[in-house]
Amino acid sequence: MKRQGKKLGILVMVTMIVSVLGGCGSSTTSTSSTSTGKSTKVAVVLKAINSDYWKQVKAGAEYAGKELGVDVEVVGPNAETDIAGQASMMEDQITKGVSALVVAPSQPSAALSTFDKADAAKIPVLLIDTDAQWDKKKSFIGTGNEAGGKVGGEYIAKNLKAGDDIVMIRGALGDATHDERIKGATDAIKAAGLNVSTVQPADSDRSKAMSVMENLLQTHPNVKAVFCSNDEMALGASRALKAANKSDVIVVGFDGSPDAINAVLSGDLTASVAQSAYNIGKSGVEAAVKVSKGETVDARIDTGTNLITKDNAQKVKDDLDKILGK
């Protein structure tokens, strides 16, 4: 009896170790198989995994996996600027022979050769969040970024007057998502007769944006508004402005992240152009599963935007908390 109990204890310990090691290898997995008995495995490769925005995308992707009964693995580097790291993660998923690859490319032009490898391996590629000029993609699922930028620019213009100075802080140079958001905001602001004094990169990083804003205040002390192409940078910029006793400067971010919503409620942030990050992840996986079964999906699936201000921030927060199970 003692020997049998000892063997049982060892078996339990080994099982626990295997479970822990398995959990270290992927962000999330939801398991089942198709009616043919072949397991459907969708890999979702994000630009990063450590911001509120990407956590929402991840949550949506995981939910779709559970609802559809498929394996979903969500991975991403620690920083959106880690182009090589993201490429390595995509190649790893191709080697695993996944059923479909859903990617938010950090730098689309740099990812094309990896997309070609997936296509050669007969793995369909769908793009989310950021589009790429690659004619073999099955679909692009995401926000109309230029249109969203225009919403933010129009809000700034409505609250200022012609001739006022605006500065912009953007994500990594070469990232098409940030290019489009900045273009939309710039067009709307210039159309209203306001000046866009400068556009500076801060790589979607809150601390970097704070430093950039501090420097901008030295060269543009009369700035009336700041448009940031994501919320992390907007939160950094607002922190710098608050420290400089310039809390009256309008700061508009982009994403509608939980931190940004809380900042809008507290008055630290003026507004955020919210895209449905959760639906981007959810719709991306749903489309990937259809494609893996040989079904056709729309070439472009727009998940829309809306502006979060103090008037609607509480409702948006309540809805988001339900989505994330808080």
pLDDT in tens, 145-159: 999 999 999 999 999
Higher-scoring residue by pLDDT: 324, 41: 41
Q: For residue 307, report the phi and psi dihedrals to the nearest 5 degrees.
A: -90, 130
Say how many residues make up the chain: 326
Contact 58, 281 (CB under 8 A): yes
51 confidence band (pLDDT: 50, 70, 90): confident
Mean pLDDT of 31-55: 76
Q: Which residues contact 76 (CB under 8 A, 6 or more apart)?
A: 27, 45, 46, 47, 48, 49, 54, 86, 89, 104
3-state helix, strand, coil in the chain (%, to 5): 50, 15, 35
- What the chain holds in terms of domains, given with CATH numbers, is 27-142+278-295 (3.40.50.2300), 145-275 (3.40.50.2300)
220 SS3 class: coil
Cα-Cα-Cα-Cα dihedral of 278, 281, 283, 288, to 10°?
Answer: -170
Res 9 pLDDT > 60 = no
| pLDDT at res. 86 | 98
Distance of CA 229 to the CA centre of its chain: 12
pLDDT of amino acid 55: 87
Checking if the pLDDT of 298 tops 50, the result is: yes
DSSP result, 175-218: -HHHHHHHHHHHHHHHHTT-EEEEEEE-TT-HHHHHHHHHHHHH
- Beta-strand (E) ranges in the chain? 41-45, 71-75, 100-103, 125-128, 139-142, 165-170, 195-201, 225-228, 250-255, 271-275, 300-302, 305-308
Q: How far is CA 133 from CA 99, 115, 127, 139, 311, in A?
A: 22, 11, 11, 12, 38
What stretch of H or E contains 79? Answer: none
